[in-house]
Amino acid sequence: MKVWQDSLLIFPYVAWSGVFKTMEGLTMKRGRGAVCFFVALCLFPALLLASPTTPEQASQVVAGWLSLEAGPMKTDMGKTAMSVSRYDGPDGQAAYYIVSTNPKGFVIVPADDEVEPIIGFSPDGVYDPSPKTPLGALVSQDVPGRVAFVRQEELKKQEALTAGVAAKARWDTLSRAASQKNAVETGTASISDVWVAPLVQSTWDQDTAGGVNTYNIYTPNNYVCGCVATAMAQLMRFHQHPTTGVGTASFDISVCGSAATRALRGGNGSGGAYSWSDMVLSPGASTTTAQRQAIGALTADAGVSVNMDYCSDASGTDTLYAASAFRNTFGYSNAMRGLNNYSNLPTANRNAMVNPNLDAGYPVLFGITGDGGHAIVGDGYGYDSSTMYHHLNMGWSGSNNLWYNLPTIDTTYYNFNSVYKCVYNVYKTGTGEIISGRVTNSTGTPIAGATVTATRSGGGTYTDTTDAKGIYALSKVPSASNYTISVSKAGYTFTSKSATTGTSTNDTITTGNVWGVNFTGSGSGSGGGVNLMPLDIPTVVGGGSSGGFNEQFTGTLGNWTQYNGPWSISSGAATVSSPVMNKFNLLQYTSVNFQNFDYSVRMKRSVVDEWANVILLRATPTPLDEDGLFNSGYYFGFTTDGYFNVSRMDNGSWNSYTGWLTSAAIKGNDWNVLRVTASGSSLKFYMNETLLYSVTDSTYSTGKVGFGFYAGAAGTFMADYATLSPLDAVKGDVSTASPTIYQGGSSTGRQ
């Protein structure tokens, strides 16, 4: 694989397709309906082709990402994108870039803007592209495969186009963020949401620690112990199991291809119990001989148990052998083998294998392709914006441990398989499947301490309590069973759900686990939940020059001015069932101008579509623009198909800061809470208490507030409360120059 090294400055511009911007101008005025999209593709067939990216664009997108993040996924990635290295695919074209960050770490960026821009990131170490390393093997197979996929003719399929357009939007957003550094409050918030933090704390390797034989102390000729042995040993160190001796059974191994046998050592050389307390998590130069021997005994036995082929440059075996070794050699009661006929594990099946285990606190093993294959540990997951990442412990002394967006494309269309094996449901005791999910309140805030109960049809009850992230996991429940799952927590009410486990089957993609049985509680709670209110919100004060309001929509709309509609009060909500079509239908609060405030509206749209639902602030309503939107002010909108937008309205002209971006914080056509804090020139935009965007803009300092929706399709809109509390201006707040505004897009909805 070729590598090109470039040292780059971060340029304050966006290298972007002029054709794509032309498409935006033609298609984004009225929505992303099928007719508009089809016409655009007919007019611009070049858009069917992916757009290769340059080292400058890779650096730009990382700079923008870092400017929006304060520690992505709780890591310290620094604030600056530094040098960029280019890596070519088999066709000789650029496949991906490694962008080094200051002071340390690196980001993996594809060389095409129809692939998710931030594929992976590590806060430590230096990237080694060699397929002999686990990370090099993963990236050099996976990323060129993604790029090859979007560049081929299969992109003419609608599903591929949809994914490509979403990736382009994220590229554009992050690139523009880099050029708006003065506008965004860098480092004050994070768009990351870690659902399960990394479980495995050991940073083990395959040979020496601090220059002294450790993991290889008992291997033939002190050859490396092998990545499968390291991954197995780290998983067993996590569980600290077995607790009794393993005996001295002999196993067939090979040494550089020559057949041999080797017996288990156990912790004392005679098959005794392992000394878990001596197995330090991060060995180094000061590690004692006894500690090295304790670790080396485990890694040696792990390798022997899976028939390792030891040799001087690498030691290898099949990752899936680990499942049998856990059960038959090391006393684990359960371990399953996931396999997709040596192709990538399909996303849904892989997530069902893996995520319930992580929710339950059980690490898993992944088998990845490479020079002889590699095994790594999967031990955490979460989201950055709407992109799912898994934490991978690479078994490389902690170097290159990273958060990685696992492959999501169907390998039917290409030959770049990467993550194709999984060892999961590894239990010390018990058998069965795992049902897991998340419990939140109506604003999306996790509820801790809720009791989740699964009642099995035919008998059996299983319970768990949600953690600080609202996660629960019902472990070791019977396979092939129907369950009614209920949640209880003082101050909340929940609707029960049904779930059915399958039967996990070895060497297939069939898993009995069920992931994503999520619950939303109604009510205010009675304490004990997790307060995820952003810490940087200015303190709410009483009074204020403009007062405030708490509208619960239980009486009339006498305090509100209606624009289109008709609006009415129904079941405690401001409601529009028969809107004026192809117009905004809005409510504006009285004639009061508000300056510094915390403003929230809880709203719901009955359908899932691409049309905008909005709150408006510091606004001058009239004259309305041609779509019925307020004349000027600030705009915060979302679509029920999962996108949000922050914009400014200037005398009938709609200028977007963000474009339409995806966010996991949006709850579809369920209740969503939009919230904005405005203090001086500081504006912060929240969705269900997740900070989505911050901007400093002094164009409008006071004005009206309102909310509503664009009726591009039939459906009912409801808002069951709107509240506004005055704020003191942030001390020392100084208005700055307005940011560069992104021209294009539509106030009416997503395209």
10-residue averages of pLDDT along the chain (751 residues) = 36 26 27 32 38 94 86 89 94 96 94 95 93 93 91 54 67 75 38 91 98 98 98 98 98 98 98 98 98 99 98 95 99 98 92 98 94 89 91 95 88 70 98 97 88 98 96 98 97 96 98 96 57 30 55 92 95 94 96 92 92 97 95 96 91 86 87 94 91 90 97 93 78 33 58 52
CATH code for position 650: 2.60.120.560
Question: Same structural domain for residues 357 and 240?
Answer: yes
Number of folded domains that form the chain: 4
Alpha carbon distances (Å) from 226 to 38, 204, 312, 573, 577? 52, 12, 11, 62, 64
Report yes or no on 582 lying in a domain: yes
Task: Give Rg (Cα) of the chain.
Answer: 28
Question: Same structural domain for residues 94 and 118?
Answer: yes
Q: What is the pLDDT of residue 9?
A: 31
Q: pTM (2 decimals)?
A: 0.70
Q: SS3 for 563?
A: strand
Question: Same structural domain for residues 76 and 53?
Answer: yes
Write out the residue range of the structural domain in which residue 672 sits. Answer: 549-726
Q: Is 42 tagged catalytic?
A: no
Of 227, 241, 311, 390, catalytic: 227
Q: Are 60 and 6 in contact (CB under 8 A)?
A: no
Q: Are 449 and 489 in contact (CB under 8 A)?
A: yes
Report yes or no on 486 lying in a domain: yes
Question: Same structural domain for residues 607 and 661?
Answer: yes
Report yes or no on 540 lying in a domain: no
Question: Same structural domain for residues 719 and 616?
Answer: yes
How do beta strands 433-441 and 519-521 pair? parallel
Of 225, 241, 311, 374, catalytic: 374
Q: What is the pLDDT of residue 637?
A: 97
Q: What is the pLDDT of residue 525?
A: 62
Q: What is the pLDDT of residue 642?
A: 87
Question: Same structural domain for residues 631 and 645?
Answer: yes
Report yes or no on 27 lying in a domain: yes
d(CA 162, CA 143): 19
d(CA 647, CA 656): 4
